[in-house]
Each structure stands twice: as C-alpha cells, then as structure tokens.
Structure 1
Amino acid sequence: MTSPLPERAGRRCHNVLNPLHSTHYFSPDLGRELAAIGIEDDRGAYFAARSAAMGAVGPGTVTATFYNFRHELVARHVPGVWRSASPEAVLAARARAVDATLRRLLGDELIASEEVAEAAGLALRAAQACTRTARPLYAAHADLPVPEEPHLALWHAATLLREHRGDGHLAVLLAAGLDPVEALVSHTATGKGMAPRWALGTRGWTREDWEAAVDRLRGRGLLDAEGELTDAGAALRQHIEAETDRLDLAPYTHLGVAGVERLTELAKGLLTTAVANGAFPAGMIGKD
C-alpha cells in the first residue's frame, strides 16, 4: 500500500526544481546562442526558446499557452522568430545554452556528481506519470528526446514537471476568473510573485493595465485600499495553489514519499549553489 504524500510535498519539490529550469532564461548564454542563429532580441529569444517544442506556432498559440503576456508583445516577435531560425535550430541552441549555464552555475565537479545523476533519475521517474491531455506545453516537451548527459536530463525532467504543473495552473486561473494581469497582480500581492517592475518590463503590460487590474480586484473584494490581499483574496490564492497541487499530484505520487523527499533535498542543494553563483537578478521577487 502506497503511503500518501505529505500536504504540499509536490509543491515544495516543484518550488526547487522549477528554478533550475528557469536559470537559462536569465543567462547570457541563451541570448548569445540565439543571437548566433539570428534571434537577437531578448523577448524574441524567450518566446522562441519556450515555444520551439510546439513547432513554428503563431502568436495566438504562444499567448494562449503562456497566459500572462500581452498578445501585442508576443505578435511583435512571433512568427517572425521562425523566419530567423527554425524551431529545431532554436532547440539545439537552447540545449547549448542550458549546458553552458548549468556548468557555470554549478561547476564541472558538481555537474559530474552522483547527486546530479540521482536527481535526474528521480525527476525522470516522476515525469513518467505526467499526462498530455489538455497540457499543450508539457505535451510538446514530452515529445522531445531525453538528453544523455545527467545534468541535461535533469533539466529536461524539470522542464517536463514545470510545464505539466504550469498547464494545470492556467486552467485553475481561468476557472478562478483571473485574467492575465489580474493573475500577475494577485500573485505579486502574495509577496511570492514577480515584482511589478519586472512583470511590466517582461510581460508587455503598461502601468495603466496594472492599475486597472488592481481596481477590478478591489471591486471583487480581493484587494484592499492599499493593494494588499483581503481575506477573500488570500483564500482565493490559496485555493488556486491547492487546486494546482491536486491537478499536479500524479508525478509525485508515482515517485513516492521517499523519492519526493530525496528529489527535493537534492534539487534544493543544487538550487542553493546556483543562486549563490548569481543565477537570478536581485529584486525580481516581491511587491516593489
């Protein structure tokens, strides 16, 4: 008989695996590799790198699957990026960037360690229980081959688990009646989301869009006059995370209590090293 997972065990594991995936988005290696194949704009590089697994899709598909980006920003770069480089070339460039980024952040000794190989095996085992239905970004990445090198296999598995959870999370946001900007504003209000200047600078929304979303959330009783979450707002965000956990339970149940605990421990150690070596910009998370 399988023991039930402790509450939020899958979320805790995701919270240390997901940043390992995300390191390449903040790395100069990604910009350099994509610039070498003709995609020189940072936003274009992001849209291309994350959507390439789906093929040469149009802006509508990217807006739909990424959820919180302004469509006009997406359309400024997609499908133009595919005229500069094919999705296959982008995927190859992304793999080179991930390799360079992880080697720089973790060091060759840790890259070659038994811990990284063990983490890769555990994460890949968890991903075996992910499902494609209604999860387009996960499904596209699940069709890609698993890299042979353990650190790249770990990154691939972290990507599968990230996009699997993310696809489910978007369904929950939609059911909660939060549009893209409202989702950003309410997440930022928890203190765990992207700071407004980062959200506005990367997602394409204006300060006016942000303030209009704040007003709408106040009208629903989810934010107070100071822009803080009300009890109802906090309850809604807690419900969103709990529902996301429920939709994302299968891979962690498949891995089991001991496996999830060990993968969380290993990923936390790797993330700590990556952060100490400058993986993410200062001031990215928070309310200011």
Structure 2
Amino acid sequence: MTHTARRMFELLEPICLVTFFADECTEELAALGHRTYWDGYFASRVAPLGRVPAQVVDAAFYSFAEGEAARHIPSAWEKIPPEASLAARERGSAASLRRILGAGAAVARAADLTTKAATSAPTAGRVMYAGMRSLAVSSDPVARLWHSATMLREHRADGHIAALVGARIGGTEAHVLSALDMGIHPPESFGRIQHLPKKRLTAVMNGLRERGLVDAEGRFTESGRETKRHIEALTDELAAPPYEALSPAELDELVAELEPITETLVAAGSR
C-alpha cells in the first residue's frame, strides 16, 4: 500500500494546490477582510479546529518558524469567524478547479472514490485530518473532490509530522532536508526559509552538521540522505490506511479517473 499512497499523493496534490496557487481562494479570503495572504491562509486552514490559540497552530502546522502563527492568529479572527474563512476557502478552491478543468469536467466518480477513501481512516493521532473529517462534505462533485483530496492531504501531513518528530527533525530542519532533496544549494536559499533571520538559519545548519546530516559545505551526508529517505518511506506507510477502504478495482478506477484531471492541473500549474 505504500506505493499506492505515494501515487495517490502525486495525483491528488495538484487538486489541493489550487487553494494556495490560484487566485480565486485568495480573492475570496481578501473579500472577507483578511489583510494579507497569510492571514487568510492561517485562518482558513486551521478553522476546522475552531478558535485555537497560536501555540496549537504552531503544533499542528509544525514547519512554520517559531512565532509565525502568532502574527496571524488570533488577530485574523477578530472580525471574521473561522466558519466564514473556511467557507471562502472551499468556495474559492472549487471555483479554481472548475475554471482550470473546464465546464462539464467529469469528476463525479473521482470525487465519490476519493471521498470513500478520505472518510475511512482512523482519526487517532491525526489532529488536522480529524478537523477536516468533522466538516460536512459538499454534494457538489467539484467541491467534494477538493474537500476529500484536502482531507487526505491533511491525513498525510499529520503522518509526516509524526515521522519528522520520530526522526528528531524540526520544522525548519525539515525544509533544509527538502531543499537538498530537490537539489537546492545552499539550502538556506529555499523560498520557505530564506526570509528567516540569518542567525536562526546558521543555528539550524550547525545543528544538522553536528548530527552528521549535512557536511561542511551544507550538502547531504550519507546519513542525511538516509534520514530523508526513511522519513519519506514512513510518511508513505502512514498515509496508506485510507486507501485500504478501496478494492483493487476501485483503486485502479480512481487512478484512471484522476490521471487526466491531474494532467490538466499540472499543465496549468494549479493556477
């Protein structure tokens, strides 16, 4: 099932990415009154958990720099209730999918099978996934496909965090390893962390060197490569349970239904 989990991640991720890359979601959140992209991001993504404090958002999101959540939570909810941000997120994301895929795109069967998988896994230890599972799933096929793909994304992310914690890799350290895995050097130039204070990045890199995960030039050691490989393999393993609800024939059908959808979204950059 680990191969299945990796393949489904590849197929479903472009569906989820419209939330972050396309204009419609950003515009919907801005129309509510969110001042910045990141206000809308934090408010709408954590909304299924309710009005939790910034410390909880830090724990649930994990990879953001210390104090980042507090720049947006709870101030983003002062005039905009979480429910409104959540609805805007789904509304905008579904609108992006409709625009990119075209009117009349055949998504109903893919939505049905994705929803079956997404609503079948245990929620124990999966905070963000459990939050998404608590929400009603739309009857509209496009919105349902987005919602269910996002449930599975949060399920996978919860497992990924567990894998990182087990490997004693912090959130910023995880970005360094991802940058190196993508061939980015120096890893401090990676877009997700390049804005952090130089002192903070230096401390992170020094810590990885002391543990033998990166070398003096800031590149992977063999130990670092193996650590990253182990984290990704465990993430796939932990992401597999939802797909056990589908028969082999249903899995084959879901892949066949998703492939043209994903191909279209990838060509558009999920924008």
TM-score by length of 2: 0.92
Distance change (3 Å), C-alpha of 1:206 and 1:8: farther
Distance change (3 Å), C-alpha of 1:221 and 1:272: same
Matched residue, 2:29:
34
Cα deviations across residues 57-84 of structure 1 (Å, max 9, x unaligned)?
Answer: 2111111100011232210110001112
Matched residue, 1:14:
9
Query: Superposition pairs for residues 245-264 of structure 1, below 5 Å?
Result: 245-264=236-255
For 1:12 and 1:143, locate their aligned partners in 2 and report how far apart those are by CA, in whole Å.
26
Matched residue, 1:122:
113
1:213 aligns with 2:204: yes
Gapped regions of structure 1 (runs ≥ 5): 281-288
Matched residue, 2:87:
92
Distance change (3 Å), C-alpha of 1:183 and 1:95: same
Matched residue, 1:107:
102
1:50 aligns with 2:41: no
Query: Superposition pairs for residues 99-248 of structure 1, below 5 Å?
Result: 99-110=94-105, 113=106, 116-191=107-182, 196-200=189-193, 205-248=196-239
For 1:254 and 1:211, locate their aligned partners in 2 and report how far apart those are by CA, in whole Å.
45
Cα deviations across residues 105-132 of structure 1 (Å, max 9, x unaligned)?
Answer: 211132xx2xx11111111111232111
Cα deviations across residues 168-198 of structure 1 (Å, max 9, x unaligned)?
Answer: 1111101101111111101111118999442
Distance change (3 Å), C-alpha of 1:276 and 1:76: same
Q: Is the 8 A contact 1:222 1:232 kept in 2?
A: yes
Which of residues 247, 259, 264 is equivalent to 1:268? 259
Cα deviations across residues 180-223 of structure 1 (Å, max 9, x unaligned)?
Answer: 1111101111118999442026xx63344333322221221111
Cα deviations across residues 116-150 of structure 1 (Å, max 9, x unaligned)?
Answer: 11111111111232111111100011010011111
For 1:205 and 1:18, locate their aligned partners in 2 and report how far apart those are by CA, in whole Å.
26
- Number of residue pairs aligned between Structure 1 and Structure 2: 269
For 2:207 and 2:71, locate their aligned partners in 1 and report how far apart those are by CA, in whole Å.
28
Q: Could you tell me the percent identity over the aligned residues? A: 38
TM-score by length of 1: 0.87
Gapped regions of structure 2 (runs ≥ 5): none
Q: Is the 8 A contact 1:132 1:139 kept in 2?
A: yes
For 2:92 and 2:79, locate their aligned partners in 1 and report how far apart those are by CA, in whole Å.
18
